[in-house]
Chain A
């Protein structure tokens, strides 16, 4: 057990010495969370666009469900994916449990509602502004959606980054479906939980520093994108 200052200096040494174990964990975290973010955008953006631009019976209920799913507890998602991917589950034959793919699936399920709900808000607000002009130009629905997505691109990038932030900081789902296996499914958050429970604070703190730096970088990127777009009146 180290004192906090001892642990902190060891952690900084790990970070600055580019410790291979540390960077393997960081690399896997980025791979899993970026993949999940990409998949969530592929699924969530069209869903958000559909909800924003279409009026259908039950739309209100669909909005309530999507908004409610934004607050999905990660452990519930982990459990759900575990049940499907475990050997006795319907998708057990795929052999995906305790692999990075299972972690990507869990994180995708977790952040798709976030991407869908936030992109719906962005696109619906833009659609309200443009609706009459688009109607006047007799645009097709596809042309409308294309224009909305392009004009909302900066806000939608912020939505994607918010999804990534949620994914990379998540621990409950990935520990259930990934199992926190060294050199295979160990990511930053699960490693922090494990190292802290073992009293090995240096690695936990080093990973915490990287995670915080990542969170700051994501927020800085969001701020920079928004500021640049606002200056050019494109946001």
Chain B
């Protein structure tokens, strides 16, 4: 059940005391400005989608928010404080193309648990059960199907019990069943109070899942609104064009 009453989708240039804030992010590559003064505020929990056309900067934004890339200018904050190494330890990311270790299914999850100095076979098995891979513990991870690999990548991300979970088009090219499993888990995570930041091209998926939608265009946030408002009456011309299947140039 979505609760949008606590949504803060303001665009102020001051980090909010709760949730994840990005203030004035800029990122250049080969002297081209790819992210231009991007500001975004997300609450402590819920599912928040970044949508927009190809090349708009959605995946880059996700990487900047997660700290995988250093911004040229601007800063990311967690609960009003600049993102620290200890905050990053409580974040996880699921990539569009899962990168699995050359090990068994269970060893992939154990690796993450061990990196956090824990060993909990019951927790690992419960995660594998959640993503529909129960009983597949000893199989080589790289011999799983694409959908199964992505579900294992999600289980691995959940193994660190993340406060913030970034997902970069996790269901792109997956069959409906695998996509459904991932969507169900995201809904469960919302219920557990995890902040899920999801990049997707699938407008239907954003409609099903999102508490808020940030529309990314030309390296900045063109619009950030509660999901029902965004889909009912988008305020930016780019978002309106995108939703009506028009090309955004």
Known: A137-B112, A147-B111. A130 touches B142 (CB 8 A): no
Contacts of B115 in A (CB 8 A): 137, 139, 143
Q: By the criterion CB–CB under 8 Å, are A151 and B68 in contact?
A: no
Interchain Cβ contacts under 8 Å between A and B, 8 examples: A129-B99, A135-B68, A136-B92, A137-B160, A150-B103, A151-B101, A232-B143, A233-B142
For residue A153, which residue of chain B has the nearest CB? B102
Given contacts A136-B68, A137-B115, A138-B85, could you give 7 more A-B pairs where the C-beta distance is less than 8 Å?
A130-B99, A132-B68, A136-B93, A138-B89, A151-B101, A151-B103, A233-B142
A197 close to B (CB within 8 Å): no
**Interface members, chain B 81-140 (any A CB < 8 Å):** 85, 88-89, 91-93, 95, 99, 101-103, 111-112, 115, 140
Q: Which residues of B contact A (CB under 8 A)?
A: 66, 68, 85, 88-89, 91-93, 95, 99, 101-103, 111-112, 115, 140-143, 160
Q: Smallest CB–CB gap between A38 and chain B, Å?
A: 24
- Range, interface on chain A: 10 to 19
- Complex Cα distance, B95 from A234, in Å, reads 21
Q: By the criterion CB–CB under 8 Å, are A136 and B143 in contact?
A: no
Q: Which residues of A contact B (CB under 8 A)?
A: 129-130, 132-133, 135-139, 143, 147, 150-151, 232-235
Contacts of B68 in A (CB 8 A): 132, 135-136
Contacts of A150 in B (CB 8 A): 103
- Complex Cα distance, B103 from A130, in Å, reads 13
Contacts of A132 in B (CB 8 A): 68, 95, 99
Contacts of B85 in A (CB 8 A): 138
- Complex Cα distance, B102 from A130, in Å, reads 11
Q: Smallest CB–CB gap between A233 and chain B, Å?
A: 4
